[in-house]
Structure 1
């Protein structure tokens, strides 16, 4: 036997061993998938389970205290109210995944609302051009952040804290001495944020499309794994998952349609969350984001352009913050000195962490923003129905945030000990 034959045989044996290990780790079939999920939870990979359970508990508690909490009208309004800050949180997910932070998203959103109002109302610009200009301004801010971070090594905490203060001042200057600009109620921008709801039949079309898309992407991913001689999720599991989504989302649509239905603004938020999730999980850019957040030096040695990743997440974060500010102004039909202030900044960060994105980087998903902001908005809505003031909302949100961070820390220790075992 030649050396080449020996090397080939060794390689084949190694591949066979790797495939065997892969099959042992990854189970197929419905029961196998459930067992695998339990294994991941025991290993510290909790995923979205805690926040989903939290939403269930919140719903049960507030519904028992006020029968209007789970009414279709209140839930429809809750979804719409969650979008502006949720949009900001969506951008923060990307920043936190790399292990960085942006403390200025509230100020950036307030500035973008002021820019939109001034260009649209005072300057007579088309509302959609005004929105584009505001979002472009947000992108430029993110680009500046990234260059200061990359070229001078200033911590993102300090850079964005300076931005928080600076852009609050710029916002006041843009608004001028009046301090408030009202947006026309009959404008398309305000109607989109307040009055435009998806027709019932189209809502069901969206549900079917989501379920079919989930099955299709899962099937293609499983096919690629099988072609690579790796184990893959079975078709039965993919079908069961899609049917569950179809039935679950269909029931939600049916219930919400008893009121005003689902707002187009919330649909936009969900679509952006799905697109970001695809980018994070299915593209090289997304894998690079997780790699940088997991270990920046290892990512650099693996050939990843770390500076480009930092630039992209800062730009994306501030752009989405600007978009959230625009939607907040449209929802209120006004931009004023308090836009982006108050608890906007803290709620945006809290939503991401409560939704399951780690403050330490490298772990989380786009759905963290969606579920996290629903938790915060549910708490706010429930306490409002109980006629309790903001003091209780701040306290409860703070406790939930602390519990989320504690859970994240415990999960990290569990994963570390599981890995050593």
Structure 2
């Protein structure tokens, strides 16, 4: 039976009441973590107990620490007595390269005071597999991985998963939406049956529910999405499609925003928008899957440290990017999924900071934004900017939202998702 927990008020617990060892308490104090977030105060004691967990929380809620801190404590309290080859003790699966790097960095940051040292590695595509294989000699205490690269390393016998005692699936809904179903099935088949499994997901579509049933044993359920009043302000501006870029440039220059994350639906749109903004006197950089990993890292680092003021990105930036006090997120184009809308705007207004999420919609997007509102249970006033008002009627050349011009989310191929391999069907509660 699944047990459900809910928190309707902000938790008043302190880190020293959650069961953490002195070394980790000292470290969170050094990092100026003063009060645990609700997801941390609920999940840390539960993870320390060793059972399975299903957790859902808003973006920016501090969920990485909610599983990283207790997992580090468990690994520290139960060290390996002898080296047994390239084994992995705790495996964290994530959908994007940037999220893998970010979570691994968090583990390393939290583990600095632990002795013996905890070995943390991240593996993902877009960079040399040989370098990662060398780093994994002797195994890893914590391995943060994207599914595709992990399977590449497993096929090369670089690591073994036979001794994994802790499994975390972070952003499980996003992994399934990006088509990782087959890869997950292959990985799960290689894991021991006896292990602690933690599944974190912002939303719980049918695919996630099937994964939950297949993976978790009498899990405790912690769902905290709606407990806190949001510090994120949402606005919608209507504008003619052919004036949308001009409005975006006008807003950036007029408001003097120090950091703006602009979302577009396709890689080509990002590139064209960068060129158009440059002609309008606005310098921007693009961030999408066609850029080499090194270039992606440099652009992201430049945006985080303030060297780049405007970043134009596809939905690969909707998850896994944690930027302190990011003031503005703009939807230049709407995402296909109402869930992805929430993840996009969740890059701002994190950890109690004020933020603005602005959507620029033209006539062909009105209906889809109505759907986003309905699915996410909010209603926003349609506003206009003087000099950029939308016509009362759609221009004759405005395409329909349902037309083929609508781009598929990055990461989704044109082919239909393949059926699960027969050998892995049982893992998903499906008959072969």
TM-score bucket of the superposed structures, by smaller chain: under 0.3
Q: Which has the higher helix share?
A: 1
Q: What TM-score comes out, normalization by structure 2 length? A: 0.23
Higher relative contact order (CA 8 A, sep 6+): 1
Q: What TM-score comes out, normalization by structure 1 length? A: 0.23
Q: Which has the higher strand share?
A: 2
